[in-house]
């Protein structure tokens, strides 16, 4: 069968080439430098890898794009990039579906007389735009330019360009900004920055609502840190406690969840500081500082706080002690309430007294996020707009009309602007109200650089020709300036040369001992230039001693529920909602797909007589939305939580008309101190509509019913030293069969797995897994080969979520194999449970007989609307309707590596073969390798005393060993 498959692939490859021949011309592609130097560029059926930067969120991870026949087919993390070190999150993996999104804007558009957008040529578009700009006659400040945080050459170019047209207002807008944190750092330490957090050194992570595993600052990096420190080493492991109104994924992965009303976090932090000082645990504080601190926290005795926050004073003391004793620890704050800055300040003080500042909280290398312009200033500009002070608005790479509260009023305001230009690659809420749309390349098609943290400069090169008639923002601006005869100010032919010049300056600054070309080539190849920056020490800023701490205030009726809108793992702020993979990716905690919901505590639901899937009307002073109910103990009573990201009115077929966006419920009033948008500042009234709306969940049952699928072990037991239990010698019904060369196997460490689901998307990308849509998934027909199963092992009071990646176990005694009448599935000599798609007749017996239920059946013919089909991996068959499919440890990668080894006639190296899931796992929870080779990592791990097989009693002898999750229990101190 293998032979047959490869023949088939050759054919695919050829067709791929013909597809790619469509225009490989410009200099850019000549100036590309592949990550691994191949003999020649495009070889049919052979991959070329290019290093670039992921721009889906401000974290700025480095990625390697795998291109075949001139099209990118897969992205993986760039191992050289310090932020993500070769790993990617689900969003990063799905970035290709931005590039190949069928709803992309394919050429410039202008709004015609009939109010609809009509295609125009670039030339025409530039003419119009240039005309508009020249009308300004030097009143450049009537022009406003909104971009996200760009932290790189393009950012500077935009400033230059604005200057060249006589100045103009510049806004760096991020929906998930950290203004209060930045402000708090100024107040506490006098540095208006966002520091580096070294979670991997923190013995105790105390997170005040910071979801660092999903979206907070740099999730891939922090997930890695988190898992590293959580790993059980020398009798101990890092501990973590999550403080917040709801259990996020981060909360679910912490040892403890301390539910507090939003906004009360500050008092808890202060209470802890108070306790620490009272017990004299804070060492080395200069007397004046100590004195000042004592004054601030004096009113916040644990007892007082206990009353305010609703957790016992002893608990506060225990936490306080633990926080100091487990030095270095770290407290993180993601404050979104009306007193956000207070909270951040309080948390800063906590870190300070525990001596974490300088240890796990380091100033010096600041985060690009610090450059974000505050929501307050945004409001200011909007006011100007109302006064008609702005006549041209440029919007690039952001979608304020979706993300900002009071969307309707905003639209009206923008309506007041005579000329709105959008550079968006996709139709979205903002392009809806734009007069001119100049579609930008996706980052896969354009040059650029991005510096997420000072010194870490990712270099972004195009990995393929633009799919459509789109241009890079930089090029557009430069061409525009040519039209405006501003060449003397902006003398660059196109952005590529500007970028090079920028890096020349960098070159001069850091003076490496190579000539510029080598430096440049090397940087492009490696995907950037990475320098470490010295930590600078900070002292308390006297201003802090004058700080007074306010309780949170809420807009809306006092009896309403405090509303918690939260960005999600899959959609971030909503910008990813048009990626089908992410739409069909179950939310790890709720396991719901394709829509969003309102999360309410059972006790509240009971009061209001709300049942599961009841369609609810949620009303705030600012607006109202309708969402189905999800009743869950993941939120504390008195609050309701709604995931952000769905509810797009215009964002392509996959995002449009799904659920609703809670942002429209928020009040527009910015926070007093920092001017940040207040997320947790609204009370909403929840009412029944009497209608039902079924949510699609992939979880057949939330409990594991004593099936021992996720197994855990207590930290104590581990410390007392357990032996891997040897099974009683079993009499075999039939002789053992041998694997002559390799026996591929996998180890999955459940203690490392945080359920981030990156593996799921990676698998879809690698293995051409089709998406089915809400209705099919609701009926249980999703196609994912690997899934993150979530079991709630908790009590009635408190949920306790366990995550387990479930994929084909490639059993030695696979029950699925013998029942197949046509040998479509069999056990290959390397221990893989092979599945021969072309042989399958579709009796489906194999799936019935698979205890792990990891086989997927093609119920219908899979759909890949143009140009999504260009992403298909030519090394993997696209399955026909009526056949069974499943994971085979990425057999195509195994064969590839074996071939390579054969050509170089050497043995395979351990770690040379990496399946897509394992490759992308940010926490390195999944390890693959040859169980026959005793030196291989996987073989060693498989011997770990925590190891077990799922459903061992069925004697299926799986190739996957799971390592039990360690239950550390509540922190003690």
Partner 1 sequence: MAKNKVADSLTGLVGTFFHLDSLLQAIEQLRQAGYRDLQSFSPVPHHNIDATLEKPPSPVRYFTLAGCLLGAATGLTLTIATSLHYPLITGGKPIVSIPPFLVIVFELTILFGGLLTLGGMLFNSRLPKVNIGPAYNPRFSEDQFGLWVRCEQKDHETVTTLLKSAGAEEIIPAGQGREL
Partner 2 sequence: MAQLTYHQVDSDILRAMQAPGWRYYTLLSIDLIVVAWGIFAWRYTVQHGLGVWGLTHPVMWAMDITNFVFWVGIAHSGTLISAILYLFRVRWRASIYRTAEAVTVFALFTAGLFPIIHLGRPWVFHWLLPYSQFGGLWVNFRSPLVWDVFAVMTYMIISVLFFFTGLVPDMAVVRNRTSGWRQKIYAFMAQGWQGTDRQWRHYKAAYVFLAALATPLVISVHSVVSWDFAQSVVAGWHSTIFAPYFVAGAIHSGLAMVITLLIPLRRIYRLDAYITQQHLENLAKLIILTGLIVGYAYAVETYIAWYSNNVPEWQRFTYQVTGEYAIPFWIMILFNSLVPLLFFVKRIRTSTPWLFAIAILINIGMWMERFVIIVTGLAHEYDPYSWGVFIPTWVDISITLGAFAWFFLWFLLFIKFLPVISIVEVKEELPPPTRSQNGEE
Partner 3 sequence: MDQERERSWTLRPHVSRKVPLIFGGLLGLGTMIFLVGLRMDPLRSWQAYLINFLFWGGIAQGGVVFGAMYHVVGGKWGPPIRRCAEGMVAFLPVNFVLFFPLYYALNMFYGSVREINPVRGAWFDPRFIFVRGGLGLGLMTVLSLFFVYYSLRPEVGWLQEQKLRPRHWLYEWITDGWQGQELEAQHCQRGLDVLSAGVLVVYPITYTFMAFDLIMSLDPFWYSSLFGGYFFISTFYLGLAGLALVCVLIRWQLGPSVVTSTQLSDLGRLLLGFNLTYFAMIWSQYIVIWYGNLPEETQFIILRLWEMPWAVFSWSVFILSTFVPFLIFLSQKAKREPKIVFAVSISVGLGLWLERYVLIVPSVWHSEVIPLGWIEIGVTAGFLGAAVLSYLFFLKNFPVLPFVSPIPSSADLDKQHAEESPAKVRLAR
Task: Provide the pairing of β-strand 960-963 with 744-749.
Answer: parallel
List, in order, residues 6 or more apart from 159 with CB less than 8 Å away. Answer: 170
Whole-angstrom Cα distance, residue 421 to residue 129? 8
Chain centroid to CA 102: 22
- In our burial notation (b when 16+ CB lie closer than 10 A, e otherwise), range 267-282 reads bbbbbbbbbbbbeebb
Whole-angstrom Cα distance, residue 591 to residue 582? 12
- How is the chain split among helix, strand and coil, in percent rounded to 5? 30, 20, 50
Nearer to partner 1, 517 or 734 (CB): 734
Which residue, among 625, 655, 658, has the nearest Cα to 640 in the 3D structure? 625
Least separation in angstroms between CB 958 and partner 2: 13
Query: Looking at 280-288, 379-387, 394-402, 812-820, which segment touches partner 1 (CB under 8 A)?
Result: 812-820
Verify binding: residue 823, partner 1, rule CB under 8 A.
yes
Whole-angstrom Cα distance, residue 730 to residue 813? 14
508 binds, among partner 3, partner 1, partner 2, none (CB under 5 to 8 A by kind): none
Least separation in angstroms between CB 889 and partner 1: 17
- DSSP-based three-state secondary structure for 275: helix
Whole-angstrom Cα distance, residue 294 to residue 279? 12
Site pattern 681..720 for partner 1 (x: CB under 8 A):
----------------------------------------
Least separation in angstroms between CB 2 and partner 1: 13
Least separation in angstroms between CB 849 and partner 3: 10
Nearer to partner 2, 96 or 754 (CB): 754
Of these, 548, 735, 903, 904, which contacts partner 1 (CB under 8 A)?
735
Verify binding: residue 3, partner 1, rule CB under 8 A.
no
Least separation in angstroms between CB 852 and partner 1: 14
110 binds, among partner 2, partner 3, partner 1, none (CB under 5 to 8 A by kind): none
Instruction: Answer whether 764's CB lies under 8 Å from 784's CB.
Output: yes
Least separation in angstroms between CB 1 and partner 2: 8
Instruction: Answer whether 181's CB lies under 8 Å from 361's CB.
Output: no
Of these, 737, 741, 798, 853, which contacts partner 1 (CB under 8 A)?
737
Nearer to partner 3, 284 or 728 (CB): 728
Whole-angstrom Cα distance, residue 314 to residue 245? 20
Which residues of the chain form contacts with partner 2 (CB under 8 A)?
699-701, 703-707, 709, 776, 779-782, 787, 789-791, 806, 815, 818-823, 839-845, 847-849, 851-853, 856-861, 880-884, 951, 954
DSSP assigned state of 297: H
- DSSP-based three-state secondary structure for 461: coil
Q: What does the block give as tokens for 242?
A: 């999550």
Taking the alpha carbons at both ends of the chain, their separation in whole angstroms is 61
Nearer to partner 1, 612 or 839 (CB): 839
730 binds, among partner 3, partner 2, partner 1, none (CB under 5 to 8 A by kind): partner 3
736 binds, among partner 3, partner 1, partner 2, none (CB under 5 to 8 A by kind): partner 1
Nearer to partner 2, 781 or 940 (CB): 781
Whole-angstrom Cα distance, residue 254 to residue 272? 19
Verify binding: residue 465, partner 1, rule CB under 8 A.
no
Least separation in angstroms between CB 856 and partner 2: 7
Instruction: Answer whether 273's CB lies under 8 Å from 265's CB.
Output: no
Verify binding: residue 813, partner 1, rule CB under 8 A.
yes
Least separation in angstroms between CB 831 and partner 3: 18
Q: Phi and psi for 411 in degrees, rounded to 5?
A: -60, -45
812 binds, among partner 3, partner 2, partner 1, none (CB under 5 to 8 A by kind): partner 1
Least separation in angstroms between CB 735 and partner 1: 6
Which residues of the chain form contacts with partner 3 (CB under 8 A)?
730-734, 813, 818, 953-955
Least separation in angstroms between CB 810 and partner 1: 12
Least separation in angstroms between CB 223 and partner 2: 23
Least separation in angstroms between CB 790 and partner 2: 8
Of these, 816, 890, 913, 942, which contacts partner 1 (CB under 8 A)?
816
- DSSP-based three-state secondary structure for 64: strand
Residue with tokens 């046509």: 822
Least separation in angstroms between CB 846 and partner 3: 14
Please, what is the angle between helix 473-483 and helix 122-135, to 10°? 60
Nearer to partner 1, 8 or 845 (CB): 845
814 binds, among partner 1, partner 3, partner 2, none (CB under 5 to 8 A by kind): partner 1
Instruction: Answer whether 790's CB lies under 8 Å from 591's CB.
Output: yes
Whole-angstrom Cα distance, residue 329 to residue 354? 8
Instruction: Answer whether 641's CB lies under 8 Å from 630's CB.
Output: no
Which residue, among 803, 793, 719, has the nearest Cα to 755 in the 3D structure? 803
Whole-angstrom Cα distance, residue 347 to residue 355? 12
Cis before residue 669, ω within 30 degrees of 0? no
Nearer to partner 3, 259 or 958 (CB): 958
* Cα separations in angstroms, 322 against 238, 810, 959: 12, 44, 40
- DSSP-based three-state secondary structure for 650: coil
Nearer to partner 3, 684 or 814 (CB): 814
Whole-angstrom Cα distance, residue 151 to residue 131? 30
Nearer to partner 1, 284 or 734 (CB): 734
468 binds, among partner 2, partner 3, partner 1, none (CB under 5 to 8 A by kind): none
Nearer to partner 1, 812 or 912 (CB): 812
List, in order, residues 6 or more apart from 592 with CB less than 8 Å away. Answer: 586, 630, 695, 696, 697
731 binds, among partner 1, partner 3, partner 2, none (CB under 5 to 8 A by kind): partner 3
Verify binding: residue 734, partner 1, rule CB under 8 A.
yes
Verify binding: residue 855, partner 1, rule CB under 8 A.
no
R_g of the chain, CA atoms, integer Å: 28
Least separation in angstroms between CB 732 and partner 3: 7
Of these, 736, 866, 903, 935, which contacts partner 1 (CB under 8 A)?
736
Q: Cα angle vertex 335, ends 332, 340, to 5°?
A: 125
839 binds, among partner 2, partner 3, partner 1, none (CB under 5 to 8 A by kind): partner 2
Whole-angstrom Cα distance, residue 147 to residue 149? 7
List, in order, residues 6 or more apart from 840 with CB less than 8 Å away. Answer: 822, 824, 825, 882, 883, 884
Of these, 812, 898, 910, 937, which contacts partner 1 (CB under 8 A)?
812
Q: What does the block give as tokens for 560?
A: 């309403």
Least separation in angstroms between CB 736 and partner 2: 17
Verify binding: residue 795, partner 1, rule CB under 8 A.
no
Nearer to partner 3, 757 or 825 (CB): 825
Least separation in angstroms between CB 700 and partner 2: 3
Nearer to partner 2, 163 or 774 (CB): 774
Nearer to partner 3, 137 or 953 (CB): 953
Beta strand residue intervals within 560-667, DSSP E: 561-567, 592-593, 598-600, 614-620, 623-631, 639-644
704 binds, among partner 1, partner 2, partner 3, none (CB under 5 to 8 A by kind): partner 2
Verify binding: residue 864, partner 1, rule CB under 8 A.
no
Verify binding: residue 820, partner 1, rule CB under 8 A.
yes
List, in order, residues 6 or more apart from 896 with CB less than 8 Å away. Answer: 875
Least separation in angstroms between CB 793 and partner 2: 12
**Contacting residues toward partner 1, per CB under 8 A:** 734-737, 812-820, 823, 825-827, 957
């Amino acid at each position: 069968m293998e032979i047959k498959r490869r023949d088939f692939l050759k054919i695919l490859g050829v067709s791929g080439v013909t597809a790619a021949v469509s225009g490989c011309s410009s200099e850019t592609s000549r100036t590309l430098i592949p990550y691994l130097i191949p003999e020649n560029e495009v070889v049919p059926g052979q991959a070329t890898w290019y290093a670039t930067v992921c721009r889906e969120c401000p974290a700025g991870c480095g990625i390697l794009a795998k291109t075949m026949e001139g099209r990118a087919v897969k992205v993986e993390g760039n191992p050289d990039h310090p932020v993500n070190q070769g790993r990617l999150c689900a969003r990063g993996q799905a970035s290709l579906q931005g590039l190949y999104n069928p709803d992309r804007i394919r050429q410039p558009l202008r709004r015609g007389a009939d109010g609809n957008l009509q295609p125009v040529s670039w030339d025409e578009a530039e003419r119009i735009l240039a005309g508009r700009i020249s009308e300004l006659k030097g009143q450049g400040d009537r022009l406003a330019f909104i971009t996200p945080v760009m932290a790189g050459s393009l950012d500077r170019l935009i400033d230059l360009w604005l200057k060249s047209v006589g100045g103009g207002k510049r806004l760096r807008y991020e929906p998930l900004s950290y203004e209060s944190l930045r402000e708090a750092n100024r107040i506490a330490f006098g540095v208006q920055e966002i520091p580096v957090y070294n979670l991997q050194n923190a013995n105790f992570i105390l997170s005040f609502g910071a979801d660092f595993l999903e979206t907070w600052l740099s999730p891939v990096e922090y997930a890695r840190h988190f898992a590293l420190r959580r790993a059980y080493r020398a009798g101990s492991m890092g501990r973590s406690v999550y403080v917040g109104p709801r259990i996020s994924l981060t909360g679910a992965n912490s040892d403890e969840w301390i539910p507090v009303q939003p906004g009360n976090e500050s008092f808890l932090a202060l209470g802890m500081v108070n306790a620490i000082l009272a017990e004299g645990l804070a060492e080395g504080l200069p007397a004046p500082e100590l004195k000042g601190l004592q004054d601030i926290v004096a009113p916040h005795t644990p007892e007082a706080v206990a009353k305010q926050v609703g957790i016992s004073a002893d608990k506060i003391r225990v936490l306080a002690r633990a926080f100091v004793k487990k030095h270095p620890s770290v407290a993180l704050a993601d404050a979104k309430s009306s007193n956000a800055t207070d909270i951040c300040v309080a948390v800063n003080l906590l870190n300070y007294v525990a001596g974490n500042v300088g240890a796990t909280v380091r100033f010096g290398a600041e985060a690009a996020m610090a450059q974000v312009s505050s929501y307050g200033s945004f409001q200011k500009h909007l006011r100007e707009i109302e006064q008609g002070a702005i006549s041209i608005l440029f919007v690039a790479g952001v979608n304020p009309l979706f993300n900002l509260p009071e969307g309707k009023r905003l639209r009206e305001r923008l309506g007041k602007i005579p000329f709105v230009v959008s550079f968006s690659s996709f139709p979205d809420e903002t392009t809806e109200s734009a007069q001119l749309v100049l579609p930008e390349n996706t980052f896969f098609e354009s040059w650029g650089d991005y510096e997420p943290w000072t010194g870490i400069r990712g270099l972004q090169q195009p990995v393929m020709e633009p799919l459509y008639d789109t241009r890079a923002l930089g090029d557009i601006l430069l061409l525009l300036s040519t039209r405006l005869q501003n060449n003397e100010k902006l003398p660059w032919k196109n952005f590529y040369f500007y970028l090079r010049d920028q890096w020349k300056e960098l070159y001069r600054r850091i003076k490496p001992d190579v000539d510029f070309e080598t430096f440049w080539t090397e940087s492009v190849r490696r995907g950037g230039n990475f320098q470490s920056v010295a930590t600078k020490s900070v002292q308390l800023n006297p201003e802090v001693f004058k700080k007074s701490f306010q309780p949170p205030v809420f807009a809306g009726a006092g009896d309403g529920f405090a509303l918690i809108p939260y960005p999600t793992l899959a959609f971030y702020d909503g910008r990813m909602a048009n990626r089908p993979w992410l739409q069909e990716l179950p939310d790890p905690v709720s396991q719901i797909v394709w829509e969003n919901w309102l999360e309410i505590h059972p006790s509240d639901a009971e009061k209001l007589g709300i049942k599961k899937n009841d369609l609810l009307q949620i009303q705030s002073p600012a607006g109202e939305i309708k969402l189905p109910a999800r009743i869950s103990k993941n939120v504390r009573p008195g609050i309701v939580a709604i995931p952000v990201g769905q509810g797009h009115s215009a964002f392509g077929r996959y995002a449009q008309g799904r659920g609703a966006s809670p942002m429209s419920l928020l009040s527009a009033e910015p926070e007093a101190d920092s001017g940040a948008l207040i997320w947790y500042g609204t009370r909403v009234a929840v009412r029944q509509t009497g209608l039902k709306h079924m949510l699609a969940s992939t979880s057949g049952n939330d409990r594991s019913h004593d099936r021992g699928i996720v197994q855990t072990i207590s930290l104590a037991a581990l410390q007392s030293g357990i032996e891997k239990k040897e099974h009683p010698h079993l009499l075999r019904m039939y002789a053992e069969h041998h694997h002559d060369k390799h026996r591929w196997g996998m180890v999955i460490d459940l203690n490392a797995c945080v359920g981030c689901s990156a593996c799921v998307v990676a698998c879809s990308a690698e293995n051409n897994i089709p998406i089915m849509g809400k209705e099919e998934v609701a009926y249980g027909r999703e196609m994912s080969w690997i899934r993150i199963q979530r079991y709630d092992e908790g009590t009635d009071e408190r949920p306790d979520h366990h995550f387990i990646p479930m994929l084909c176990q490639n059993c030695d005694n696979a029950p699925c194999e013998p029942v197949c009448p046509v040998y479509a599935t069999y056990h290959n000599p390397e221990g893989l449970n092979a599945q021969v798609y072309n042989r399958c007749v579709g009796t489906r017996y194999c799936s019935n007989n698979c205890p792990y239920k990891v086989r997927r059946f093609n119920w219908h013919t899979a759909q890949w609307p143009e140009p999504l089909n260009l992403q298909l991996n030519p090394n993997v068959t696209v399955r026909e309707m009526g056949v069974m499919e499943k994971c085979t440890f990425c057999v195509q990668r195994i064969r590839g590596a074996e071939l390579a080894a054969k050509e170089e006639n050497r043995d395979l190296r351990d770690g040379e073969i990496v399946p897509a899931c394992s490759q992308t796992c940010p926490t390195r929870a999944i390890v693959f390798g040859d169980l026959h080779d005793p030196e291989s990592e996987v073989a060693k791990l498989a011997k770990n005393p925590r190891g077990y097989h799922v459903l061992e009693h069925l004697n299926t002898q799986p190739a996957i060993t799971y390592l039990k999750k360690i239950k550390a229990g509540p922190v003690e101190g």
